[in-house]
Amino acid sequence: MKNIIRDFIGSKKIAIVGTSENTGNWGKSLMDELIKKGYEIIPVNPGCEQIGGVKCYASVKDLPPDIESVIIAVPPLITEQIIDEMDGTKIKRVWMHRGAGKGAYSEKAKEICKKNRIDVVYGFCPMMFFGDGFHRFHLWIRNTFGKLPPEYKLILKH
């Protein structure tokens, strides 16, 4: 999984499913943070034409063909629908967000990804790896107290 995370971090163009202009929307917060870090973020939300002045796409099927990385920040049942929509796209990797609570992860969605040869990261907030400050500290805490699978630990050295 470390290589998938590295590929995500190395992607300079990432779609985020679940962004909106709603106050407190986690997808929008993530979008804003990644833009500050130099990433080109493509929001996906069927109810919006643009978010934060950036063109928004209704579906992952509508994304430009050069998008290979998608972060999903929606409930698990919607994640399954999103993963189904990826069939026939150029998407190579998916990050099913998880912060507090269940997050976007679904075992069924993971299996669909596996079947369609889409790499998956799940169980963590992307900001633990993309971010710094509190987010990086959170990663350190999980690593220090044994809450980080071995494949993730190798990422910390870089």
Write out the chain's pLDDT in tens, 158 residues: 678 888 998 999 999 999 999 888 888 988 998 999 999 999 999 999 999 999 999 999 999 999 999 999 999 999 999 999 999 999 999 999 876 567 788 899 999 999 999 999 987 778 777 666 555 555 555 666 556 555 555 444 44
Q: For residue 158, what pLDDT is reported? A: 40
Q: For residue 24, what pLDDT is reported? A: 83
In a domain, 154, yes or no: no
In a domain, 150, yes or no: no
- Other Cβ atoms closer than 10 A to 38: 7
Show the CA angle centred on residue 9, arms to residues 114 and 15, nearest 5°. Answer: 65
| Count of structural domains, the chain | 1
In a domain, 134, yes or no: no
Strands 119-122 and 93-96: parallel
In a domain, 21, yes or no: yes
Q: For residue 38, what pLDDT is reported? A: 93
Q: For residue 141, what pLDDT is reported? A: 59
In a domain, 140, yes or no: no
Write out the residue range of the structural domain in which residue 55 sits: 2-127
DSSP letter for each residue of 49-113: SEETTEE-BSSGGGS-TT--EEEE-S-HHHHHHHHHHTTTS---EEEE--SSSSTT--HHHHHHH
Question: Can you give the CATH number for the domain in which 114 is found?
Answer: 3.40.50.720
